Amino acid sequence: MNFRRMALLVLVLGAVLHAAPATALDRVWVATIPGGASIETAWSLGAEVFDRTPEMFVLGDAASAAKLAGAGWTVDGPYDLDADKRHTIGYEKGTSFGLADIDFSIAAPGARIIWARGRSLLTESTDEFPHIDYGQQHRDIKLQNLRKRPIRRPIVQAPARDKAAATTFLPIISDIVAQVDSNALKTWVDNLSGENSILVSGNPFTITTRWTDNAQCDTAERYVLERFQAMGIPAQFDPYSFSGTDARNVVATITGSET
C-alpha cells in the first residue's frame, strides 16, 4: 500500500470513528415514571434517556438522575454494569405478580435482577436471558437488550410562517398594473429573442443574438428605437464605449404631467 492510499485510509477511518464514537454504558440509574409524565417530560427537564418501559427510564449519567430527582421523580442507583455480561430490561404484560420476588437464577444460572419495581425490571446475565416460566405461573415478560446509546429526540420542525399579507398599492399604481397586457409583453420578448420574425426599417429580420460586439445588436437597437417612435414616444440612441468596443443604448423619455 503506497503512502497516499494509507493516508486516505487513515482519514476515512478517523471520520468513521469520529462520527460514531462507541458508548461505554458502565453505570446506570433507574427513574420511576410518575403519573402523567412521558419521555418528553424527561427531555424537557434536561435528562438523557437510554431505554425505557412503560413504568421506568434507564439513565446513563448522574446529571440526568439529579435533574429528575430534583423534579420529584423517584430515582434509584447508581448500578454498576459488568461490561462482560448481557443487560436486559423487561416488562410483564397483563396482571403483575411482583417481579422483584422471582428468583431468576433458577431459570437462568448466572442471571440476577439489578432493579425491579411493579412490572418492570433490569437484569444482568452471562448468556441471553431465556423465556421464563416460574413455578406453575407462566410469566409473559417482554425482554429486550439494554440500549447503549441515548434515545434520540425527534427533530422539531419550525412552525409554518404566516403568509405575508398582500401589499396595498396607491390607486394610480393599481391602474398602471391593470394596463399591462401579458400577451403583448410576451410578444415583445419573442420579437427580441428570435422567436418571431420582425420588420426593421421595413425589412424582415430575425434576431438570433443581441451580443454587444455583433452587428445584430445594432439591428435590435434600431428595432427598439422604431417601436418607441411608432408609439409616439421620443427616443434616441445613446452611444458609449467600453474596452475598445463602440456600442449604444436606446433612451426613450415619457414626460410626466405632475411634480
Q: What is the pLDDT of residues 174-225, one digit of tens each?
A: 888 888 888 888 998 999 998 999 999 999 999 988 888 788 889 999 999 9
pLDDT: is 228 or 109 the higher one?
A: 228
98 pLDDT above the threshold of 70: no
CA–CA separation, 74 vs 116, rounded Å?
A: 13
> Looking at residues 251-258, what average pLDDT do you find?
87
* pLDDT the model gives residue 31: 96
For 243, other C-beta atoms within 10 Å of its C-beta total 6
Per-domain boundaries in the chain = 24-145, 171-252
Estimate to the nearest angstrom the gap between the alpha carbon of 49 and the chain centroid. Answer: 22
Placement of cell 446513563 in the chain: 60
- Over the stretch 103-122, which tens digit does the pLDDT of each residue have? 555 556 667 888 988 888 89
According to DSSP, the residues that pair with 204 across neighbouring strands are 199
DSSP classification of residue 56: E
H helix runs in 73-214, sequence order: 104-107, 171-178, 182-193
* pLDDT the model gives residue 108: 60
Record the pTM: 0.49
Which of 74-83, 99-108, 141-150 bottoms out in mean pLDDT, i.e. has the lowest?
99-108
Question: Which element (helix H / strand E) includes 199?
Answer: strand 198-200
